[in-house]
Amino acid sequence: MSDKKLDSIRLNILREVADLEGVPTGAYSIRVDGDTFDKNSSENIIIEKKTDKPGIDIYIKAAGRRESVHIPVILAESGLKELVYNDFHIEEGADVLIIAGCGIHNCGVQDSEHSGIHSFYVGKNAKVKYVEKHYGDGDGNGKNIMNPHSVIVLDEGAYMEMETTQIKGVDSTRRKTEATLKAKSTLIVHEKIMTHGEQLAETEFVVDLQGDDCGTHVVSRSVAKDNSRQIFISDVAGNSKCSGHTECDAIIMDNASVVAIPKIVANNTEASLIHEAAIGKIAGEQLIKLMTLGLDEKEAEEQIINGFLK
């Protein structure tokens, strides 16, 4: 463990976005209030701070199979805005878990914003699991804004799974994921979002299926409450013998709005592409069933939402 310490506010954010109780062991880079707070490399995962712009380069060796690296971001100063570039260079045959995430604690009147551009260069037959959680809190005067942008290049036979979660306290987010898949590679995405109040969440997935026998499966599950707005955009192009499936499944409540905009383009006769979208309210019979078990209406709604977003 590092000797460096975080205060209680920043420790709470670290716990929310990365399930950590403090600075971890192994490979990690923790960014706090616009700069690197602490970082550490391991034998097989090398982290270097960029010299030309904010961010880091992460080099993951094939010898480091089933290792993990933590790269959380914490903002606890109102009015702080930053753009960070993180590049992941993953060797052929590597197997790694990457735990990211951003948390903002804003108790001022100014907006706080974190925008990150993550580029993943995944080598042949490498396997990556990427987990990212977004969280915000504060007194509600200044906005919490997060705009993540992921660029993914999967080499032949590579596999990448992304889990992205945004459940609380983010006033505005625009997430964009762009991926290029070569032969026999696979991209799996599971997205979970809940918005409330006047919040806005927009997500866009652009997937270019280039190589034979590559495939993608993108699933977004979301709940929109109060006056919040959500927009889901998917754009999948099949340029080879490939498979692509995108799915948007949303629960809408109160005066919220949800928009699903699918686009699938087949440029090859052997491209198999599917899009599914379902938007609706919680079914009355679901509420009644839970209320007969002793829950009130609000408790029943929470149970249904929690199960839906698992």
Strand, coil or helix: 183: coil
Domain boundaries, the chain: 8-283
* Residue whose entry in the numeric block shows the structure tokens 């920043």: 10
pLDDT at 224: 95
Amino acid identity of residue 163, one-letter, is E
Q: ∠ CA 100-102-103 to the nearest 5 degrees?
A: 140
169-203 burial: b if 16+ Cβ within 10 Å, else e: bbbbbbbbbbbbbbbbbbbebebbbbbbeebebbb
What pTM was computed for the model?
0.93
Assess contact for 111 and 145: CB atoms under 8 A. yes
Q: Comparing C-alpha atoms, which of 23, 35, 43, 152 is closest to residue 87?
A: 152
Assess contact for 131 and 163: CB atoms under 8 A. yes
- Phi, psi of 305, rounded to the nearest 5 degrees: -65, -45
Each residue's pLDDT, cut to its tens digit, for the chain (310 residues) gives 455 778 888 999 999 998 888 778 889 999 999 999 999 999 999 999 999 999 999 999 998 788 999 999 999 999 999 999 999 999 999 999 999 999 999 998 899 999 999 999 999 999 999 999 999 998 878 999 999 999 999 999 999 999 999 978 999 999 999 999 999 999 999 999 999 999 999 999 999 999 999 999 999 999 999 999 999 999 999 999 999 999 999 999 999 999 999 999 999 999 999 999 999 998 888 888 878 888 888 888 888 888 888 8
Beta-bridge mates of residue 193: 166, 222
